[in-house]
Structures are given as structure tokens and as C-alpha cells.
Amino acid sequence: MQILHNVDKLSPMAKENTALAERAKRARRIVRNPTLYKVCMGCDSIVASKVNICPNCHSYRFETDESEVVAQAKALSSREQNSVVAEDLF
């Protein structure tokens, strides 16, 4: 699999496919080790279990049940990102 370094030159469809592939890759990592993650109850983001405040919405309530983390990872891996994250604000 070739790694794409210059995403700016890709068509919108190629960018979307690349983003979905990255989300699927992250989801596989989460599904393999769900105890390392938790789901934010404010924005449904998946964050590291060591996080105390969600970096996206600043919520402090989390779902830690492994089956919920796996279900959310699978759901997020099958659609494009639609939430605003910190990187979008800079």
C-alpha cells in the first residue's frame, strides 16, 4: 500500500477515501485494545482512557464499557468525520 504524502493534490473523492481508510485503521487499533479507550458522552468521540477532559468538547463524562467503545469505533470507521476538532480551529 502506497502512503500518500501530498493529500492537497488529490481529488475530493480520493481525499475522502484516504480519510475513511485512516479512520478504519484507527478503528481496528481501538477494537483490538478497547480498554485503552473510552467514548466521550458529550460528543461521541473516542479518546484515550487516560484523558480526563475531552479535547474536542471539554466534557468530563465518558463511557468506559468495552462493548460500547467497540461499537462506537465501528460506527465511526464507516463514515466520514463530521465533528469539529482542535486542529480545525487553527
pLDDT of 62 higher than 90? yes
Residues in the chain: 90
CA distance 33 to 27: 10
Q: Could you tell me if residue 21 is inside a domain?
A: no
Q: Could you tell me if residue 22 is inside a domain?
A: no
Banded model confidence at residue 59, pLDDT cuts 50, 70, 90: very high
The pLDDT score that the predictor gives to residue 84 is 60
Q: Could you tell me if residue 9 is inside a domain?
A: no
Give me the domain span that covers residue 41. Answer: 34-90
16: helix, strand or coil:
helix
Average pLDDT, integer, range 44-52: 95
CA distance 81 to 83: 6
* Total domains present in the chain: 1
Q: Could you tell me if residue 18 is inside a domain?
A: no
